[in-house]
Structure 1
């Protein structure tokens, strides 16, 4: 039996310059696994809640109190709700409210000698957790860029000297994705 692979382009909304990833993963993955792929590929730490929206239907972890109409993502395969050209909305961290536009760019038969999931392209580092959403991230970038900014030293210390906003390595993201298989 041949496996269908979906190529997704995941773009972080409201962040300029764009932060994006191109990943390839089995269409048979349930949405909870797609969530994990996005987390590893983007560089998030999976500290916060998340949800998917596809054609007006919300998917995520079920609400134990039953107050939110969210379908259980563990019961829904990607290939059951999406096909080439489908757009999904993935929201991570309901405080910072990171929205990701997820476009199914392609669907193809798995290459026999290739391991999936994998990250094949992307640009720019993922914003740090708890930075305050797109607005807070924009402020962080300004402060890091301007050495005389009043918060430069404090924010540089907070993100660490290794944080480079322009850096992204798809091979490293793929290594992290290998933990899912």
Structure 2
């Protein structure tokens, strides 16, 4: 049983308006599970590589059958707890997802709370804005896509609508859906596709 609960805010760097989630997690949660929580809370599909960064150290999962792992400076995060990196209120670390698109997130420890025995963790408390679409080209590509979708006469409008399979509401956020997913296997995080 965790000694305390961490209230963290996960915010997508460079997004305007700000895309963020506030989540309660056990202080003894392994980084591998924090990754799953972030994927579900933000709305990502877990289809790309990721890492946590604190100071000048990189924490990532070992990618099986990848000889290049030995050539990295990354630390295998399987035995690293979130409390090993975030120790006091206002401590921060980075979470990077999809190195091609470069989705960078700030993870800030906002509060250290007592464990509520009646609560189920993780728990999404609040947030704003919909998650960007996977493979949309980072923050800049996503902003471009949103601008195109506002102009039905734009030459790329039909292509984006076909790619999306319909409309996209960039303001959509529903914490109850996230909390339902958190009750699923792997906190609702999809299996890695590679």
> Does the 8 A contact of 2:2 with 2:27 survive in 1?
no
Work out the CA distance in 2 between the residues paired with 1:60 and 1:85. Answer: 23
Q: Alpha-carbon deviation of 1:143?
A: 0.7
Q: Does 1:81 align with 2:85?
A: yes
Give the aligned CA root-mean-square deviation in angstroms: 1.4
TM-score by length of 2: 0.88
Alignment gaps of 5+ in structure 2: 188-194
Work out the CA distance in 2 between the residues paired with 1:124 and 1:96. Answer: 19
Q: Does 1:121 align with 2:112?
A: no
**More deviation, 2-11/89-98:** 2-11
Alignment gaps of 5+ in structure 1: none
SS in 2 for 1:172: helix
Q: Does 1:50 align with 2:50?
A: yes
Q: Does 1:6 align with 2:11?
A: no
Could you tell me which of 133, 145, 160 is aligned with 1:155? 160
2:172 paired residue number: 167
2:36 paired residue number: 36
2:138 paired residue number: 133
SS in 1 for 2:71: coil
* CA offset digits 1:113-159 (Å, max 9, x no partner): 11000111111110111111111101100011112111112102211
Q: Alpha-carbon deviation of 1:164?
A: 1.0
Work out the CA distance in 2 between the residues paired with 1:53 and 1:59. Answer: 6
Work out the CA distance in 1 between the residues paired with 2:98 and 2:2. Answer: 36
Work out the CA distance in 2 between the residues paired with 1:162 and 1:146. Answer: 13
Work out the CA distance in 1 between the residues paired with 2:4 and 2:55. Answer: 22
> Does the 8 A contact of 2:2 with 2:28 survive in 1?
no
SS in 1 for 2:7: strand
1:95 paired residue number: 100
